[in-house]
Chains A and B, each alone.
Chain A
Amino acid sequence: MRFIALAAALAGVTAFGLAAVDARADTTLEIVKKRDKVICGANGGRPGFSGLDAKGEWQGIDAETCRAVAAAALGDSKKTQFVKVTSQTRFTALQTSEVDMLTANVTWTLSRDSSLGLDFAAPIFYDGQGLMVRKDLGVKSAKDLDGATVCVEPGSTSEKFVADIFRANGLKYTPVVIEDRKELNNAFFSGRCDVHVQSTSGLSSGRATAASNPDDYVILPEIYGKDPMGPVVRQGDAQWRDIVNWSVYAMMAAEEFGVTSKNVDEMKKSKDADIARLLGTSGQLGKSLGLDNEWAYRIIKQVGNYGEVFERTLGKGSPLKLERGINSQWKNGGLIYAPPFN
């Protein structure tokens, strides 16, 4: 008798719990609107991607992506909140709904996409692994590097790459493994190792900031692997994923059409059908995303187009001075390509 009562009580509690979960099946957009804030997980320790400026505010292309989504979904790019995540905590933070999206330069790979219950949105930055050496070594290609000491971050993609490259070419090397990226740069530029292996963006920013004379170093022409990095959202919320995707594409399309944060108000009068649809003066594109029609206008007005954001955070307007390279518009031979706004 007592057993039955206990079982009934347990069943009741379980049912109640399930009901409670059901009642909360809000979409991410609804949650975000109710909270009036978009919460993004960001790394916080990668200059140009995400980090704190002198006022303690988040800056970088990742932070700007988050602001663009806030501008689209909530009408104000300032309605963002950043949670610092590390490479160990970032996926859990997203899975547990602690953040609405990750803007933490996560590389898009099949295994991550399929096994983590996550969806990758449009990449905002394309990177690859490169090797950097001192110019006076006279090295022209990775094949000349037999017996080199290599500075490498443990557990990183670079560590795997360097092993693959040297094995493929039948060369020997001595790894110098240093955990901290800053220390790794110091070690290389103080001559602790011959070769620095990292993402090309990491190499050039390291060269621009940590080397006493940046011209003394060259990045070898071989670029290995693909590192497409973009925002990540939870799987199973197609609407939110669309919003994040198209917020990114809106910035890219704006650059392609020549719409900038400065001229966006004039562009609203433009007769060009593409621009009119992008800025919401014709068509109902915003509605189909669950937003209003001015969503893309606000992104461009408040955050800027892709080119502006890139130059401000990583390019000429930043201390990193990265070249656009493969992150140029497709018309200029790069990979930045927004699907049509139709």
Chain B
Amino acid sequence: MAPICISSAKPTHAPPRPPPQRTDSWSHWLRRNFFQNAGSAVMTALALWALFVTVPRLVRWAFVNAVWYTQDAADCHAAAGACWAIVPEKYRVMLFGTFPYEEHWRGVLVIAIVLGLSALSTIRRLWSYWLCVAWLVATAAVFTLLLGGVFGLRPIGTHEWGGLPLTLVMFVGTVVGGIPAGILLALGRRSKMPAISALCVGFIEIVRGLPLVTVLFMASLMFPLFMPEGVTIDKFLRAQIAMTLFFAAYAAEVVRGGLQAIPRGQYEAADTVGLNYWQKMTRIILPQVMRIVLPSMMNEIIRAFKNTTFVGIIGLFDVLRATSTAIQDPVWVRYSIEAYLFIFILYFVLCFAMSKYSERVERDLAVGR
């Protein structure tokens, strides 16, 4: 009786496998990313065609035929390309709006202080109480520069503020005032005291239920109607308060999301150690919350920056409104697209920087998680 073969192994050698494909060659990379199958090849061809049609035209418009600098709009009219000359011609009004012309250097300093200190604040090594002190000093400096009236600086009313300094002050004010207010609102909403909780819920829901434009209109148009005759509160301040409250309502909901994500055990542990409410919140809960909510909070912050453009509607000259006013000049009105592109780049750079920064902080804070 022959032995039963139960092995499935083949007695012969397997044929040699082909050598591994080179993955570092150009052709391979192209094939894998752009021509993997018929559909992908068609899409690639279409995209190439679209680029071929638009890019040369764009380059010709934006660079080759563009006029970079001239003081005479007729030069632009004669050229076929973009008229970037509108930016050097109008940048002072675009960036500073109605801010008095001779005092623009003060606006420049304000921009430098706010942007410089913001950049410094992104360096984690510098995070200390000194940074808070620096911000307080900077705030004082910014308002001294903008308002004037001391150290021989000419006084400037808030109605004359405009352009990038206005946008930045409005933005920083909104965020710096709005985040603490938002945290308080979120805590209030979860409070066990019915009056406080009802107030916070009511405020958040009302504000969230309104468009920002309406809130600003209320602040700038309705509010003065309720005031006694002759009493007016500064328009900038009204807009600033409205923006801050609006931001606070959204920030509150972001923080509430974070509060709910903290496990119950953390609260109970803090209670067990005998911490009171504020100790529990500031030392145990909120530090964890802020880490969790950072990405969505940053989202709100970037949105708040872009929302500053709404103040143009109530007659404040933020960067965008100052630009759209500057380009009404009949001589240059034809080249508004170039001016808007410049502002687009300005906003993009600032927002992109914020978003990159938030990414880095997220990465840093996630260490050990």
Contact = CB atoms under 8 A, between A and B. Distances in A.
Given A84-B315, A98-B232, A52 B330 contact: no
Contacts of B334: 209-210
Interface centre among A17, A31, A209, A212 (most CB of B within 10 A): A209
A44 B330 contact: no
Contacts of B217: 89
A292 to B, nearest CB: 25
B324 interface: yes
Contacts of B316: 84
B93 A96 contact: no
Contact of A84 (B99, B101, B317, B326): B317
Given A54-B92, A55-B101, A56-B96, A97 B232 contact: yes
B96 A21 contact: no
Interface centre among B231, B322, B333 (most CB of A within 10 A): B333
Nearest to A37: B157
| Interface size grouping (class) on chain B | 35 or more
A98 B227 CA distance: 11
B89 interface: yes
| Interface size grouping (class) on chain A | 35 or more
B331 A96 contact: no
B220 interface: yes
A259 B71 CA distance: 35
Nearest to B97: A56
A219 interface: no
A98 B101 contact: no
A44 to B, nearest CB: 6
A97 B229 contact: yes
Interface string A161-195: 00000000000000000000010010000000000
B90 interface: yes
A31 B334 CA distance: 42
A202 to B, nearest CB: 12
Main secondary structure of the interface of B (DSSP, over half): helix
B176 to A, nearest CB: 27
Nearest to B221: A92
Interface string A97-110: 11000000000000
A75 interface: no
B296 interface: no
Nearest to B101: A55
A266 interface: no
Interface string A131-143: 0000000000000
A98 to B, nearest CB: 6
Contacts of A57: 98, 101
Contact of B329 (A21, A47, A89): A47
A21 B228 contact: yes
A56 B92 contact: yes
A260 B183 CA distance: 64
Contact of B224 (A53, A86, A98, A319): A98
A79 interface: no
B328 A51 contact: yes
Nearest to A57: B101
B278 to A, nearest CB: 36
Interface in B222-268: 224-225, 227-232, 235
A86 B315 contact: yes
A13 B265 CA distance: 52
B339 to A, nearest CB: 11
B141 interface: no
B260 to A, nearest CB: 41
A96 to B, nearest CB: 4
Interface string B325-369: 111111101101000000000000000000000000000000000
22 contacts: A21-B228, A47-B329, A47-B330, A52-B322, A52-B326, A54-B89, A54-B93, A54-B329, A55-B93, A55-B101, A56-B96, A82-B98, A83-B159, A83-B315, A96-B232, A97-B224, A97-B229, A98-B235, A185-B333, A209-B331, A209-B334, A319-B330
Given A17-B228, A89-B221, 16 more contacts: A21-B228, A31-B230, A51-B328, A56-B96, A56-B97, A56-B162, A56-B322, A82-B98, A83-B235, A84-B317, A84-B321, A93-B221, A96-B224, A97-B229, A98-B224, A208-B330
Closest A-B pairs by Cβ, 4 of them: A84-B315, A96-B224, A209-B330, A319-B330
Interface of B: 77, 89-90, 92-93, 96-101, 157, 159, 162, 217, 220-221, 224-225, 227-232, 235, 313-317, 321-322, 324-331, 333-334, 336
